[in-house]
């Protein structure tokens, strides 16, 4: 294998390691000996250390420091006892003593050595990033030639054994890392990219490395790799087009790592199945966005510049998807986000697609269904005063305006509200004023009622008042039960309309839901049919591979990858313009997660589902 030979060649060009991170101790000679300390305590402890009697070293020094805590001799004794603890692999003691020593002797000449020992300790504790940080501190403080060689050797071992290409890429972007270590990190990043088969990205990184480090000790292996890469590319051009490069931008770490994991597993299941059968494989490049817009921007740039990927699945979250969409717009890459549901992301560029149904689409479809299928002509809105509530309410009102319908009343409540009596009483007041205006109109008086008299309030106190549709987009199903029950209790007759928490299975299954939310009309995004044969086949394959049950998120990752496969087949290749047209033409695609139709203008999936809450569960009505 060409890649294996190349890896061996790169490995053979590494410096011979002077010290191994997992060895018993970083050196046999205590550093304090070089300072010529003549104290009997130190000489005794040093002799024990040389004889590898580390328990005796610790006992002698601890006893002396216990009796003479403020003795200046601690300047040389503490570094020696730290090395003894490191030999015993008592790592918490090493960290504690190093911290204490730094505070007591901030100008000590031993600090570079202690930073190095801290790096060795971190490496042994499987904390490679912290190990490199400590090694960087040691180099920045100034080290001897011997300690420099030890630091370089251990840094190479950490990079080679404990860090992935993705982790090395993240570290290489840290400007505070010492230049010597940064050079090591970037070389090993190239090596790991080669090992993982990401040769295009490795080639770009290698070219950048040669420009940055023209006199590096790694110049020769990098040069050999670039030469070999050129030869392989020439061979591939004679054989046919290169494989399709597909990037995945998802949070693999951080608060949303679970979402990223499910998406990745679904994508891999689809692509691996395709690659086993297809003559033209699809290469997946995974980038960890960490759920951060800034990190997403960095990784999006890498996909464009380093990898030159033709397609991108993700980003997963709306706040990161909008970043990539802006960067990818009008560039030679097609982006499809499987889960982002914020309105307008796909409208940023004609090469951007949203597979999930947006919040606005769900609200507009619900309003349209209520008007056209239920003949409702008057509406009220009660929504939470957050981004979700405002977005839903605005989209709902947009559809009403298109149909020349005004909202009779709208109000927004603070999150965490339990008592909606004030809101519903104000809604009742608006409905009473509307009724009084209707009575005046019947008498030929076109008069606006702006306030209610005490007598009017008393007259309608026990009257059931009606409004055609009451739109209540709610984030949580508990809010659904609280608000729907209070609507009934306050004698407001209406057709309840909802999104968000209304689609929770607990709404129709509980006694309160059956009593108060029954017959409500609910708009939801794409939903998997878990009773279908397709889902059962998918679930079996997913469980066999990951030993876990699939969920809606994993299915959305699978569908996004299958749409990529379908687009390449329909486009007859990897031409960007043809791939974009193929995705824009997707209509009523029956995915595992639900039906998908991309709007040819906006690139958003318009397949919102309308369901009815019944005592037997949800029933699809449109």
Average pLDDT per block of 10 residues along the chain, 622 residues long: 36 30 39 53 84 85 78 81 88 90 89 92 90 91 88 90 84 84 90 77 85 88 80 64 84 93 96 85 92 95 90 95 94 94 93 94 95 95 94 95 93 91 92 85 76 77 91 91 93 95 85 85 87 92 92 95 94 87 94 91 90 88 87
Calpha distance 402→608 (Å, rounded):
19
Calpha distance 487→439 (Å, rounded):
25
What's the pLDDT at 205? 86
399 within 8 A of 363, measured Cβ to Cβ? yes
What's the pLDDT at 509? 81
For residue 593, give both structure tokens: 């997660």
Strand-pairing partners, residue 407, are 379
Any idea what DSSP says for residue 598? B
What's the pLDDT at 238? 59
What's the pLDDT at 8? 32
- Give the distance, in angstroms, between the CA of residue 37 and the centroid of all CA atoms in the same chain: 54
Tracing tokens 């890498």 back to the chain, one arrives at: 302
Domain boundaries, the chain: 14-219, 244-340+534-593, 360-524
- Other C-beta atoms within 10 Å of 179: how many? 12
* Helix, coil or strand: residue 519: coil
What's the pLDDT at 71? 66
CA angle 256, 289, 388 (to 5 degrees): 50
What is the CATH code of the structural domain delimited by 360-524? 3.40.50.2300
Residues in the chain: 622
249 within 8 A of 320, measured Cβ to Cβ? yes
For residue 28, give both structure tokens: 């046999």
What's the pLDDT at 263? 96
The CATH label, of 3.30.200.20, 1.10.357.10, 3.40.50.2300, 3.40.50.10190, for the domain at 244-340+534-593 is 3.40.50.2300
Strands (E), 177-219: none
For residue 610, give both structure tokens: 């309308």
Calpha distance 612→517 (Å, rounded):
10
pTM for the full model?
Answer: 0.60
Query: Residue 465: left if φ>0, alpha if ψ -120 to 50, beta else—which one?
Result: beta
Element (H, E) at 435: helix 421-442
**Closest to 351 measured CA to CA, from 374, 379, 332, 367:** 332
What's the pLDDT at 3? 37
378 within 8 A of 367, measured Cβ to Cβ? no
Equal fold, 244-340+534-593 vs 360-524:
yes
The CATH label, of 3.10.180.10, 1.25.40.10, 1.10.10.1110, 3.20.20.140, for the domain at 14-219 is 1.25.40.10
Pairing assessment for the beta strands 589-590 and 595-596 based on DSSP bridges: antiparallel
């Amino acid at each position: 294998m060409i890649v294996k030979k190349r890896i061996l060649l790169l490995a053979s060009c590494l410096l011979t390691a002077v010290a191994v991170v997992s060895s018993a101790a970083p050196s046999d000679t205590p550093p304090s000996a070089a300072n010529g300390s003549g104290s009997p305590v130190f000489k005794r402890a040093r002799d024990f250390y040389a004889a590898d009697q580390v328990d005796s070293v610790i006992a002698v020094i601890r006893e002396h420091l216990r009796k003479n805590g403020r003795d200046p001799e601690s300047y040389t004794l503490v570094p020696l006892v730290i090395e003894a603890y490191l030999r015993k692999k008592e790592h918490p003691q090493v960290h504690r003593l190093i911290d204490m020593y730094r505070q007591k002797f901030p100008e000590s000449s031993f600090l570079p050595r202690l930073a190095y020992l801290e790096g060795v300790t971190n490496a042994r504790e499987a904390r490679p990033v912290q190990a490199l940080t400590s090694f960087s501190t040691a180099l920045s403080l100034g080290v001897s030639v011997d300690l420099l060689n030890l630091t370089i050797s251990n840094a190479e071992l950490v990079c080679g054994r404990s860090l992935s290409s993705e982790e090395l890429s993240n570290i290489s972007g840290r400007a505070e890392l010492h230049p010597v270590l940064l050079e090591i990190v970037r070389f090993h990043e190239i090596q790991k990219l080669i090992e993982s088969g990401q040769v295009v990205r490795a080639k770009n990184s290698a070219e950048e490395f040669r420009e940055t480090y023209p006199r590096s000790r790694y110049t020769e292996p990098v040069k050999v790799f670039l030469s070999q890469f050129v030869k392989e590319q020439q061979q591939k051009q004679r054989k046919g087009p290169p494989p399709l490069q597909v990037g995945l931008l998802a949070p693999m770490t951080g608060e949303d790592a679970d979402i990223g994991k499910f998406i990745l597993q679904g994508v891999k299941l689809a692509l691996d199945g395709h690659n086993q059968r297809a003559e033209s494989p699809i290469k997946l490049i995974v980038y960890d966005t960490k759920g951060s817009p800034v990190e997403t921007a960095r990784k999006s740039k890498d996909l464009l510049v380093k990898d030159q990927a033709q397609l991108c699945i993700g980003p997963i979250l709306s706040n990161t998807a909008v970043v990539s969409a802006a960067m990818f717009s009008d560039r030679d890459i097609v982006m499809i986000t499987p889960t982002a549901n914020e309105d307008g992301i796909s409208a940023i560029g004609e090469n951007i697609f949203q597979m999930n149904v947006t919040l606005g689409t769900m609200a507009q479809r619900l309003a349209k269904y209520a008007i056209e299928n239920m003949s409702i002509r008057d509406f009220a809105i009660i929504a939470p005063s957050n981004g979700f509530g405002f977005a839903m309410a605005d989209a709902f009102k947009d559809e009403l305006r298109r149909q020349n319908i005004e909202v009779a009343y709208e109000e927004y409540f603070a999150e965490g509200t339990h008592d909606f009596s004030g809101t519903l009483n104000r809604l009742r007041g608006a409905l009473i004023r509307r009724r009084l205006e209707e009575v005046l109109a019947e008498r030929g008086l076109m008069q606006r009622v702006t306030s209610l008299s005490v007598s009017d309030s008393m007259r309608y106190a026990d009257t059931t008042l009606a409004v055609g549709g009451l739109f209540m987009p709610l984030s949580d199903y508990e809010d659904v039960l609280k608000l729907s029950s209070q609507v009934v209790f306050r004698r407001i007759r209406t057709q309840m309309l909802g999104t968000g928490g209304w689609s929770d299975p607990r709404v129709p299954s509980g006694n309160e839901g059956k009593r108060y939310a029954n017959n409500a009309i609910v708009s939801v995004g794409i939903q998997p049919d878990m009773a279908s044969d397709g889902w059962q086949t998918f679930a079996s394959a997913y469980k066999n591979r990951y030993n876990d049950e699939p969920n809606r998120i994993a299915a959305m990752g699978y569908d996004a990858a299958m749409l990529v496969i379908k687009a390449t087949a329909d486009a007859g290749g990897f031409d960007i313009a043809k791939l974009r047209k193929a995705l824009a033409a997707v209509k009523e695609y029956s995915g595992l997660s639900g039906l998908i139709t991309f709007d040819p203008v906006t690139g958003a999936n318009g397949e919102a589902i309308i369901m009815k809450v019944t005592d037997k569960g949800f029933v699809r009505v449109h």
